[in-house]
Chain A
Amino acid sequence: MSDLNTFLFNVFLFSIIINTGLSLYGVFVRPSLIKKVIALTIFSDSANVLAIAVGYRGWPSPDKPPVPPVVTVSEPTPSELLRFLDVAVDPLPQALVLTAIVIGLAVTLFLVFLTLQIYRLYGTTDMRKVARLKG
Chain B
Amino acid sequence: MRIRKILPLLSLSILILTLSLAFTSGALGYYFPLPGVRMLASWYLYTTLNPQFPEFSAMSPEAVTAIVWDYRGLDTLFETAVFFLAIVGALALMRGISLKSVVENNTATVEVEGNGLSPIVKTASRPLTPLIIAVSASIALHGHLTPGGGFQGGSAAAVAPLLLLVIFSVYFLVKRGISEKPMLVLRTVGLLGIYVTAFLAVIAGLVLGVNAYVFQNQPKFDAPVGVPAYVFNTLLSGTLFLFNLFEYLAVAGGFTLVFILLSIPEEIARSVLGGEEYE
Contact = CB atoms under 8 A, between A and B. Distances in A.
Contacts of A58: 33-35
Interface string A35-71: 0000000000000000001111110100000000001
A68 B118 CA distance: 44
A102 B251 CA distance: 9
Given A113-B90, A113-B93, A102 B79 contact: yes
Interface of B: 8-9, 12-13, 15-16, 19-20, 23-24, 28, 31-38, 40-42, 44-46, 48-52, 61, 63-64, 66-68, 72, 75-76, 79-80, 82-83, 85-87, 89-90, 93-94, 149, 151, 155, 229, 235, 258, 261-262, 266, 269-270, 273-274
Contact of B46 (A10, A60, A81, A114): A81
Interface in A65-102: 71, 74-76, 78, 81-82, 84-86, 88-92, 94-95, 98-99, 101-102
Nearest to A12: B32
Contacts of A9: 32-33
Interface of A: 5-6, 9-10, 13-14, 17-18, 20-21, 24-25, 28-29, 53-58, 60, 71, 74-76, 78, 81-82, 84-86, 88-92, 94-95, 98-99, 101-103, 105-107, 109-110, 112-114, 116-117, 120-121
B64 to A, nearest CB: 5
A112 B94 CA distance: 12
B36 A84 contact: no
Nearest to B75: A99
Given A17-B19, A25-B9, A84-B45, A94 B89 contact: no
14 contacts: A57-B33, A60-B35, A74-B229, A81-B49, A90-B37, A98-B149, A102-B151, A103-B79, A105-B83, A106-B82, A106-B86, A107-B86, A113-B94, A121-B273
A92 B89 CA distance: 30
A5 B80 CA distance: 39
Contact of A88 (B9, B45, B67, B79): B45
Main secondary structure on chain B at its contact with chain A?
Answer: helix
Contact of B151 (A14, A57, A98): A98
A8 to B, nearest CB: 10
A89 to B, nearest CB: 7
B34 A57 contact: yes
A109 B23 CA distance: 33
A14 B20 contact: yes
B262 A116 contact: yes
Given A102-B79, A107-B86, A24 B15 contact: yes
Q: Which 9 A-B pairs have the closest CB atoms?
A: A106-B86, A91-B63, A90-B41, A95-B67, A58-B33, A113-B90, A21-B16, A110-B86, A106-B83
Contacts of A20: 15-16, 19
Given A95-B72, A98-B151, A75 B51 contact: yes
B61 A74 contact: yes
A13 B83 contact: no
